[in-house]
Amino acid sequence: MIQSQLLSATCVAMLMTCQSQSMTLEQLEALQTDLQSQLSNVSSQLQALKFKQHVSLESCVPACKTDGQRIIVIIEAWAFHGSTALEQLFMSSKNVSTLCSANVWQCEGEQVPGVKLDGFRIVNLEQSINIWASIWDVRKPLNVIKTFGIRGEYVRDMYKLLKTPSKPVKGFAKNPKFIHVFMWRPWCLWKLSSNYQSYYEEHVKHHNRTYALRRREIYEVEVLESIVREISWVKENGGATILINYAHVIWWPKRTAQRLSAAFPCASEGFTPNFVPTLGEDVFPGNDWKAKNSLQEFGNQKHSQDYDFNAKEMKCSIKPSTLSHDEKTRLRVAIKFLVKEEKSCGHVPPDFLEY
């Protein structure tokens, strides 16, 4: 199909060259429009094939029904690793309810009044879930919690409590169904984070560039390994997971939206990367929402090659320069696991949708 379209587009181009001397300006403009349209279609289909190499939409097992069943979606990503972008994609669906109306920083569950913390751990988790449930719109099937970073104890506490709550959660029939949506970021894309750029420059100022780069590279290895551990733990304990690549969210947003739509049919109209949150409706002043544009616009503004990343092949175009042989091996092992996990389009147990 794509080959025939390329051939057709080539023929149009040749025809324009051969007939340009005898054609009117209007005719040439019409041919040019036709050629651009065909090339755009070819480009879109090539991108779809590339995405299919990384994620098989056909293998997506629905994580929710379309009969009014409510699902809790827990966004699990390390701090400053793109969780805001992923939540913005979720909130583009009219059937998703977030905690943004609580008017707390970045709509994070831990920031909601009444939630008590001991370090990075919620100490009144059961009470907190009911606080969140009172904020969600009960008419919407997907209820999203954005956390402030993947922490082993936090992920496991949340899983164990939601798996067997001692008391019913407000607005949910029986035990609430929940799914962990993990997100990972290729190691070289730390430069996309203004926070990590600041950390890097601070280390350069007080030490040197080698030291600063070393801190960033080994940190990214440890982050990816932590995501591998928590995904593995949830799956081993019978939980539902989906893994998203931050690079896909930024540079292949339409395909990522399609993937979420396949995984969450209860979103009905699906998700769109062209969505921009409306202040007072989707986000509120106290959220201090970082994203000012749509995901599509953000990706168009950020050229992947400027961040040492190949967006077509979906991999870093450079190699880490400060890691030891063993550390590089750890990085490769983690990436191999994450790429494989993402291609499977998630893990949803057979009985997940049963009450």
State mean pLDDT over 27-34.
72
CA 204 – CA 89 distance, rounded (Å): 35
Residue 139 CB contacts under 8 Å (≥ 6 apart), including other chains: none
The tokens of 227 are what? 């995501």
What pLDDT does 199 receive? 81
Residue 283: which pLDDT band, with cuts at 50, 70 and 90?
very high
250 has pLDDT over 80: yes
Query: Over the stretch 53-91, which tens digit does the pLDDT of each residue have?
Result: 556 555 567 787 766 678 899 998 888 888 999 999 999
Lowest mean pLDDT among 46-55, 71-80, 196-205: 46-55
CA 146 – CA 126 distance, rounded (Å): 17
Lowest mean pLDDT among 56-65, 69-78, 245-254, 264-273: 56-65
The tokens of 216 are what? 């960033």
State mean pLDDT over 239-263.
92
Q: Are 290 and 277 in contact (CB under 8 A)?
A: no
Nearest to 193 by CA among 34, 102, 82: 82
Q: Are strands 315-316 and 142-146 parallel, antiparallel or unpaired?
A: unpaired
Its sign, for the CA torsion 30, 35, 41, 44, is negative
pTM of the model: 0.81
The tokens of 291 are what? 């994203």
Exposed / middle / buried, residue 333 (Cβ in 10 Å: 0-12, 13-18, 19+)? middle
Lowest mean pLDDT among 31-40, 139-148, 202-211, 258-267: 31-40
CA 220 – CA 234 distance, rounded (Å): 21
Residue 340 CB contacts under 8 Å (≥ 6 apart), including other chains: none
CA 329 – CA 336 distance, rounded (Å): 11
CA 355 – CA 351 distance, rounded (Å): 8
Enter the DSSP assignment of 312: T
Bridge-partner residues for 283, per DSSP? 279
What pLDDT does 6 receive? 47
Enter the DSSP assignment of 279: B
CA 200 – CA 214 distance, rounded (Å): 10
Q: How many helices (H) and strands (E) does the chain have?
A: 11, 9
337 has pLDDT over 60: yes
Q: Are 161 and 104 in contact (CB under 8 A)?
A: no
Q: Are strands 177-184 and 71-76 parallel, antiparallel or unpaired?
A: parallel
* 216 backbone φψ class: left, alpha, beta (φ>0; ψ -120 to 50): alpha
Question: What is the number of alpha carbons within 13 Å of residue 316 lying toward its C-beta?
Answer: 16
42 has pLDDT over 60: no
Q: Are strands 241-245 and 121-122 parallel, antiparallel or unpaired?
A: unpaired
By three-state DSSP, how is residue 283 classified?
Answer: strand
